Structure 1
C-alpha cells in the first residue's frame, strides 16, 4: 500500500475517532446535565408491553376503568424517587407526615399533576400541601386525557371524600379525549349521542399486542439521551408516538365541556368545591391554546371556578425568559421543581382569595 493511501486511512480513522469522542463527551455531558442515567430507548418511552401500559419508564398497571393507574411501590425513575401508595396515588414525601388528615384536597389530572421528572415532595400537589397545611391527595396519572381524569375523579371522590376537588389539565388533554388508543395503549373514551355522553371501551380491553414498532433510526439512536433531547424538541410526534394513537372522533372540546358540567353536578351534590386548574407545557401550540380558551369560557359560563395559568406564564416568559425556562425540566416537557412550586403558589393565591 502506498504512503498516501496509508495516510488517507489514518486521517479517516482519526476523524472518525474524533467524532466518536465528541459524541461520547456530549452524551455524558447531556446525561449529567439532565441527571438521566437510565439505559433505555428514550424514543420508546411510551412503547407498550402486553398488559403493562406505560411501564417502560412509568410505573403502571392495567385498570379496567381508566386504562392504567400507577403501580403501588417505590422506585427510582428519571433519577428521582417515585412512591406510589394505595389506590395508585403518589406520595407527597416525608413532609406530609405532620399534616392533619382533614380537611382534604383531591387533585386529579395527567403527568403534570402526577409530577413526572421530579421527586415525591417536588410535585405541585406536594408543594401545595406544604404551603397550605391542608392534606392534598395526588391522584394524577401520566398520559391521562380529560375523560380518564374524570373517571378517576369519580372513583377517588368516594374513596377520600375530599372538601375540594382540583381537576388539572393541559390543553393536549382535550385532544386525548378523542382517542380510543393512546401511545399504543387502550383507553376509555366518550362519544356524544343526542347531546349526551356515552362511555365506550368500558371495561377497557387489555393489551394483547403492541400498536407500534420503532423504525431503524429510533431503534439505534433512541438509546442516546443527547439525540433524544434534540428530537423531543424538533419532532416530538415522530419521536414519541408515531402511528400509535387511534382517533375516533374530533369532538374533544364538546366532550370536555360535558364532562365538566357533569363533574360540577356531582361535586355540587356532595358540597365539594370544584376548581379546574389549566396548566401548560412548554411546547403548547396555538391551536391547543384556543381549546383551552374555549374551555375556560365554558367553565366561567357554568359558574365553575377556574385557575388558568396562561397569562401568568406568558408574563414570566416575556419579562424573565431564563426563569421561565427553568420552570420546565431539561428534556423539554414536564415542569421542574421550580415550575411546580410556581404552580402551587399561583393556585394557593387564587384559592385563598375566593
Structure 2
C-alpha cells in the first residue's frame, strides 16, 4: 500500500472517530438534558415567509411558560391562518360580521390566555352588547407597522373584514422590522427545536449570550444594548429626543399607515387605529412630549385614532404584567377590549 493511500485511510479513520464521538456526545447530552427537564414547556414554532419574514407555524397547540408567577402555564393555539385562536374558514359565512385586529405581541396576548387577550375581550364585549362578530386576533410577536401592511395586503383583506383595528404600540411599532434574536433560519429552528440539546443551547444564547454578541457587533457596551432593549420594549424612556423619534417614525412607519389608510378607503373598509402607550408613558407625572407628538402626528395623517393612554394611566401597575411591563395583563386587556367595543359600536360599523 502506498504512503498516500495509507494516509487517506488514516484520515478517514480519524474523521469517522471524530464524527462518532460527536454523535455520542450529543446523544449523551440529549439524554442528560431530558432527564434535567428539557425541552422546557413553551416554544412556539415559526415558519419562514417571503412576505413577512416569519410567522407562527399553523396548527399548533402549545403550552408556554411565560405567564405571570404563580399562574398555570398559558395555552397558545395557532390556527390554519398562523394566527392565535380557534380556526375559522377563509370564506366568510353568510351573515357573519368580522373585525380584524392587527398588532404585535400586545395584541397577540403575550402572558395571558387566549380568551384574555384584548381581541377576545373585544369579541366578548360586542356579543354582550348585541352585536356579535368574529374578532380575528392578527397580532404576532415582534411585528411592527411594516408587517401590518404586508400581512393585510397578502392575507388579511382576503378574509373580507367588516372593520379593521390596527393596534399601534408606542414602544416599538413605529420603527422598521426587527426580528427576535435567532441563531439560524426559521426552518432550521423548526427542525431542531424538539431536541433538548437545541432547546438548552437556544436558551443559553437568548438569555445570556445574545446581548454580548450584539454589543460586539455594534462596538458598544452590554449596558448600552440593555438600555436600547428597554426603550424598544417600552420599559424605559428612549434616549432619543422627541424630534429624533418623530423623524424616524415619519420615515419608517407613517408611510405604512398611510398606505393602509388609502387601501382601506379604496375598499370601503372602516379603519380604527388604537394608540397603546408604554408603561413608562403611563407612569410619568404627565403625558410625555414624544407621546404627544406621536399622537398629534398620527392625527394629521387623517387616521381615525383612539388614544388608550387616558384609559390605562389611572390603572398604574394594575394594567401591566408584573414581570414584563411591556405587555398588558388580563385586566389591562379586558379594559382595552371593552373600550374598543364602545368605539366600534359608536361608529355603527357592525349594523
Q: Give the shorter-chain TM-score range.
A: 0.5 to 0.7
Partner in structure 2 of residue 85 of structure 1: 79
SS at match of 1:183: coil
Q: For residues 219-230 of structure 1, what are the structure 2 equivalents within 5 Å?
A: none
Instruction: Supply the distance in 2 between the matched residues of 1:213 and 1:206 (Cα, whole angstroms).
Output: 16
> Corresponding residue for 1:183?
180
How far is the alpha carbon of 1:154 from its aligned partner? 1.8
Indicate the residue corresponding to 1:195 in structure 2. Answer: none
Tell me, in whole angstroms, the C-alpha distance in 1 between the residues paired with 2:224 and 2:61.
29
Check whether the contact 2:79–2:87 (CA below 8 A) recurs between aligned residues.
no
Query: Any residues of structure 2 matched to 1:145-294 within 5 Å, and which?
Result: 145-177=144-176, 181-184=178-181, 218=208, 238=226, 251-284=248-281, 290-294=289-293
How many residues in Structure 1 have an aligned counterpart in Structure 2?
Answer: 250
Where 2:279 maps in the other structure, the secondary structure is coil
Where does residue 24 of structure 1 map in the other structure?
none
Please give the alpha-carbon distance, in whole angstroms, between the structure 1 residues aligned to 2:311 and 2:160.
Answer: 31
Q: Offset of 1:123 from its aligned partner?
A: 0.7
Distance 1:237 1:136, change over 3 A: farther
Do the aligned partners of residues 213 and 330 (structure 1) sit closer, same or farther apart at CA in structure 2, a change above 3 Å counting?
Answer: closer
Q: Is the 8 A contact 2:175 2:253 kept in 1?
A: no
Where does structure 1 differ by over 6 angstroms across 4 or more consecutive aligned residues?
A: 38-41, 205-209, 212-217
CA distance in 2, matches of 1:218, 1:140: 27
Question: Could you tell me which residue of structure 2 aligns to residue 196 of structure 1?
Answer: none
What is the aligned partner in structure 2 of residue 116 from structure 1?
110
**How far is 1:271 from its partner?**
0.5
Aligned to 1:306: 305
Structure 1, residues 111-152: CA drift from partner, whole Å, max 9, x if none? 001111111111110111111021111111001111112211
Structure-1 separation of matches of 2:294 and 2:186: 32
Asked if the contact 1:183/1:241 (under 8 Å) is kept, the reply is no
**Structure index of larger Rg:** 2
Residues 236 and 67 of structure 1, relative CA distance in 2, 3 Å threshold: farther
Q: Which whole-Å CA distance do the structure 2 matches of 1:129 and 1:101 have between them? A: 16
Question: Which residue of structure 2 aligns with residue 21 of structure 1?
Answer: none
Alignment correspondent of 1:135? 134
| Aligned alpha-carbon RMSD (Å) | 3.9
Using structure 2 for the length normalisation, give the TM-score: 0.60
User: 1:330 pairs with 322, 333, 339, which one?
Assistant: 322
Q: How far apart are residue 239 of structure 1 and its match? A: 9.3
Tell me the TM-score normalized by structure 1: 0.60
Q: Is the 8 A contact 1:276 1:305 kept in 2?
A: yes
